[in-house]
Amino acid sequence: MNTPNIDVASLPGLESAQGLFGSLAQVSKGYGDEVVEIMVYVYDVLPPETLI
């Protein structure tokens, strides 16, 4: 097929686009309690049951 390729990286995001959830990494040197849910990315996709 002759369909031309478009490089996704060259396509703009929305002007209103925000950082991904959890991307505001620990903003202060201290307890990493500011982003509460970041750890559950892995478990949501790959629950512990499936690790065996």
Partner 1 sequence: MNVHPAIAALRGTTVSQRQAVAATKAAMEQAHQHWLERPDICQFRDELSRYGSGAELEACGALKSLIHDHERAACFVEALIDAALDALRTHRLGETPYRFKVSQGLATLRLLEASDATLSLTAYEPLESVQPPTSALFSDRETHEIVVSGTASGVVHTLSEAGATTSRPIALTQGDCLATRACIGARHILHVERTLLLLQLAREPQRPKPVREIALDTGVERRTASGDKSASQAVMALSVLGALKEYGALDVMHQTALNRDEDPDVRWEAVRQMLGLGAMRGLDTLETLAGREHDVLSVPALALRDRLLSTRPDLRALWKESA
| Contact flag: residue 50 with partner 1 (CB under 8 A) | no
Q: Smallest distance from the beta carbon of 24 to partner 1, in angstroms? A: 5
CB atoms within 10 A of CB 22: 14
Q: Smallest distance from the beta carbon of 47 to partner 1, in angstroms? A: 10
| Contact flag: residue 37 with partner 1 (CB under 8 A) | yes
Of 42, 24, 44, 43, whose CA–CA distance to 34 is shortest? 24
| Euclidean distance between CA atoms 27 and 41, whole angstroms | 20
Q: Which residues bind partner 1 (CB under 8 A)?
A: 2-8, 11-24, 27-41, 43-44, 48-49, 52
